[in-house]
């Protein structure tokens, strides 16, 4: 499956892209039973963004592949990082219960030398009441 990109429309700015992929499936390599997960992809692009239709088709291509949760999460992240070369990327895979155990795998990539800007918390500046 070929992943595609498009040029980042605002490469001068750090901005956060959040995607939720609720229908990820692969097969358990031990039992061949299906494993289901919800994937959360968060990234700050550099020069390229991932194209959504190609991402959807790429994710669906795992449906009949055997993979351990840890391996498949890291493989997807590696493929996306290689393709887009983002400033930052995090893939969180929340696998549904299997054998009484939920598995969450979080894998991250950070571009060498890139540091996030400080978070601005607008809720910390609550206006003072004018009542006396």
Q: Domain locations in the chain?
A: 5-111
The predicted structure's pLDDT at residue 13? 95
| Choice between 108 and 119, residue whose per-residue pLDDT is larger | 108
Whether the pTM exceeds 0.85: the reply is yes
The predicted structure's pLDDT at residue 117? 86
24: exposed, middle or buried (C-beta count within 10 Å: 0-12, 13-18, 19+)? buried
Which residues, in sequence order, are CB contacts of 5 under 8 Å at separation 6+?
Answer: 48, 49, 50, 51, 83, 84
**Main-chain phi, psi angles of 63, to 5 degrees:** -50, -40
CATH class of the region 5-111: alpha beta
pLDDT digits (tens, 9 = 90+) for 34-63: 999 999 999 999 999 999 999 999 999 999
Mean pLDDT of 81-101: 95
| Choice between 122 and 31, residue whose per-residue pLDDT is larger | 31
Task: Give the other-Cβ count within 10 Å of 110's Cβ.
Answer: 15
Pairing of strands 48-50, 101-110: unpaired
Which residues, in sequence order, are CB contacts of 24 under 8 Å at separation 6+?
Answer: 36, 37, 38, 39, 59, 62, 93
Would you name the residues annotated as active-site residues? 28, 35
């Amino acid at each position: 499956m070929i992943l595609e990109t498009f040029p980042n429309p605002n490469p001068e700015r750090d901005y956060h892209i959040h995607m939720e992929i609720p229908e990820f499936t692969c097969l358990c390599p031990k039992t061949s039973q299906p494993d289901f997960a919800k994937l959360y992809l968060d990234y700050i692009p550099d020069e390229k963004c991932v194209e959504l239709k190609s991402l959807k088709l790429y994710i669906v291509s795992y449906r009949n592949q055997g993979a351990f949760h840890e391996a498949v999460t890291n493989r997807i992240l590696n493929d996306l990082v290689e393709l887009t070369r983002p400033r930052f990327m995090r893939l969180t895979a929340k696998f549904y219960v299997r054998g009484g155990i939920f598995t969450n795998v979080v894998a991250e990539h950070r571009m060498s030398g890139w540091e996030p800007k400080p978070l601005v918390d607008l809720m910390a500046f609550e206006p003072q009441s004018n009542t006396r």
